[in-house]
C-alpha cells in the first residue's frame, strides 16, 4: 500500500472506524479528516474535557518479524510535540483490532512496535506504560484504557491531584 491515495483512503477509514468505536462508548466525535496538525478526532463526553485523538493504522510488518510499527510522528517523520494529542489509537487492519496508548507513554520515540500476545514472541519489557504494563505487551481492544486516560487527562486539566482530592483540615 505504498500508493499515497490508497494509504490516505485507509487512514480516513481508520479515523471513521475509530470515531464509530468511541461513539458506541458514549463519546461525541468530530473527525477532522487527518489533515489537522497533531490529532484526527475530538472525542467529547459530558463528564470529561474533550480528548484530542491521533489515529494510526497498519499491518504486520513481515512474516519474519511479526510486529506492528506504530508511528508517533507525522507523515514526514517529524515527532509529535508532547501536547499535540492526548491519546493515540492504533488500528490493526489485518486483525480488525485496536490498541490505545497515552501520549505520555510514547514519549520522544518516533515509533514503537507491538507484537500480538498470541505470536508467542518475547516482547520487550523496557518501556512500561502509564498503567503498569509494558507498552509492547498490552492486549488488543483495550478501550477501557481510553476511558481511564480521558478521565485522568480531565482531572489534570482541572488541576485535581490525589493530594487535593482529600478534604482540607479544619484550621479554625
Burial 50-71 (b: 16+ CB within 10 A, else e): bbbbbbbbbebeeeeeebbebb
Between the two ends of the chain, the Cα-to-Cα distance in Å is 69
Distances (CA, A) of 34 to 26, 76, 140: 22, 14, 23
* pLDDT at position 135: 66
Could you read off the pLDDT of 10-58 as tens digits, one per residue?
Answer: 999 999 999 999 999 999 999 997 667 789 999 999 999 999 999 999 9
DSSP single-letter state for residue 79:
B
45 versus 163: the higher-pLDDT residue is 45
Could you read off the pLDDT of 115-124 as tens digits, one per residue?
Answer: 888 875 544 4
Could you read off the pLDDT of 71-90 as tens digits, one per residue?
Answer: 999 888 899 999 999 999 99
Amino acid at each position: 500500500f505504498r500508493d499515497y491515495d490508497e494509504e490516505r483512503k485507509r487512514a480516513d477509514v481508520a479515523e471513521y472506524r475509530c470515531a464509530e468505536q468511541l461513539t458506541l462508548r458514549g463519546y461525541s466525535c468530530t473527525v477532522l479528516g487527518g489533515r489537522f496538525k497533531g490529532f484526527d478526532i475530538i472525542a467529547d463526553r459530558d463528564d470529561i474535557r474533550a480528548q484530542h485523538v491521533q489515529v494510526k493504522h497498519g499491518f504486520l510488518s513481515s512474516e519474519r518479524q511479526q510486529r506492528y510499527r506504530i508511528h508517533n510522528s507525522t507523515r514526514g517523520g517529524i515527532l509529535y510535540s508532547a501536547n499535540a494529542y492526548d491519546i493515540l489509537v492504533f488500528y490493526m487492519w489485518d486483525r480488525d483490532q485496536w490498541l490505545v496508548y497515552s501520549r505520555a507513554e510514547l514519549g520522544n520515540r518516533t515509533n514503537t512496535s507491538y507484537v500480538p500476545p498470541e505470536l508467542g514472541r518475547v516482547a520487550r519489557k523496557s518501556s512500561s506504560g502509564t498503567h503498569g504494563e509494558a507498552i509492547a505487551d498490552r492486549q488488543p481492544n483495550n478501550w477501557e484504557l481510553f476511558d481511564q486516560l480521558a478521565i485522568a487527562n480531565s482531572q489534570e486539566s482541572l488541576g485535581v491531584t490525589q493530594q487535593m482530592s482529600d478534604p482540607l483540615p479544619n484550621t479554625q
